[in-house]
């Protein structure tokens, strides 16, 4: 069991135990594949007065199931050396965002807009003190990719099918995957916004799409 004394024996102030725990889990899936990592989009870390709560996001090109981009946030969990947080039940908010996106014709390069979505959700968490869990549902009140002809206008949260949950030196971290849902699915969930209804939708989507890849062209 991790406690502050063991923690200080294993790590120094220069270490990033939480960040390393995320990287270790990603290595199990992607091996030595290099991710494209994006630091805070505003250029300044949140702790230093920046506006982006997420300290960065990595994007992998995945060929699992079908080609897609797999994005993972860093910053909703405790990333850096902090002996006071050693051995907690949950690491900070207890999760990191993930998102799997099929290639979209208007995204010539990496879909930075998706990292912005993560940051917007992170701002809500940091400002409200309310966090997300599996089987939560969020209407986006419009296309999830702004100014885009798409019927994907909301999200449900599922545990990332490959990354799951990990125990870190600061506590448990769930990889919560954002899964885009259509306007019709959003309206159905608004009528019955229960965990059971979200679970049922996720299981239905998994039948043809086990990795829950978001496709902006889905009707």
Taking only the tens place, the pLDDT of each residue in 192-213 is 999 999 999 999 999 999 999 9
- Of 148, 167, 122, 168, which is closest to residue 215 (Cα–Cα)? 148
User: What is the model's pLDDT at position 217?
Assistant: 97
- Other C-beta atoms closer than 10 Å to the C-beta of 190 total 11
User: What is the model's pLDDT at position 104?
Assistant: 96
CA pair distance 25, 105, nearest whole angstrom: 31
CA pair distance 122, 4, nearest whole angstrom: 28
Taking only the tens place, the pLDDT of each residue in 26-46 is 999 999 999 999 998 777 777
CA pair distance 194, 127, nearest whole angstrom: 24
Percent of the chain at pLDDT > 90 equals: 91
For CA atoms 191, 139, 77, 163, give the dihedral sign.
positive
The burial class, CB within 10 Å (0-12 / 13-18 / 19+), for 27 is exposed
The answer to whether the CB of 72 falls within 8 A of the CB of 17 is no
Taking only the tens place, the pLDDT of each residue in 121-166 is 999 999 999 999 999 999 999 999 999 999 999 999 999 999 999 9
Predicted confidence (pLDDT) at residue 47 exceeds the cutoff of 80: no
For CA atoms 206, 57, 170, 94, give the dihedral sign.
negative
**Mean of all residue pLDDT scores within the chain:** 95
pTM of the model: 0.94
Sequence-distant (≥ 6) Cβ neighbours of residue 5 within 8 angstroms: none
Percent of the chain at pLDDT > 70 equals: 100
Predicted confidence (pLDDT) at residue 89 exceeds the cutoff of 80: yes
- Of 178, 26, 169, which is closest to residue 92 (Cα–Cα)? 169
CA pair distance 36, 58, nearest whole angstrom: 6
């Amino acid at each position: 069991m991790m406690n502050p004394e063991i923690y200080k024996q294993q790590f120094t102030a220069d270490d990033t135990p939480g960040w390393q725990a995320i990287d270790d889990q990603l290595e199990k899936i992607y091996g030595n594949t290099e991710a494209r990592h994006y630091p805070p989009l505003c250029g300044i870390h949140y702790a230093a007065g920046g506006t982006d709560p997420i300290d960065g996001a990595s994007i992998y090109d995945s060929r699992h199931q079908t080609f897609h981009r797999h994005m993972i946030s860093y910053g909703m969990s405790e990333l850096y050396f902090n002996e006071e947080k050693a051995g907690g039940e949950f690491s900070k908010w207890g999760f990191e965002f993930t998102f799997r996106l099929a290639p979209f014709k208007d995204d010539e390069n990496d879909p930075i807009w998706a990292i912005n979505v993560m940051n917007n959700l992170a701002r809500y968490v940091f400002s409200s003190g309310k966090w997300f869990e599996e089987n939560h549902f969020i209407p986006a009140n419009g296309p999830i990719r702004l100014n885009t002809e798409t019927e994907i206008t909301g999200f449900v949260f599922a545990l990332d099918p490959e990354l799951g949950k990990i125990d870190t030196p600061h506590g448990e971290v769930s990889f919560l995957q954002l899964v885009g849902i259509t306007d019709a699915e959003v309206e159905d969930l608004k009528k019955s916004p229960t965990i059971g209804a979200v679970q049922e939708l996720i299981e239905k989507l998994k039948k043809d799409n086990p990795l829950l890849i978001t496709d902006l062209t889905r009707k």
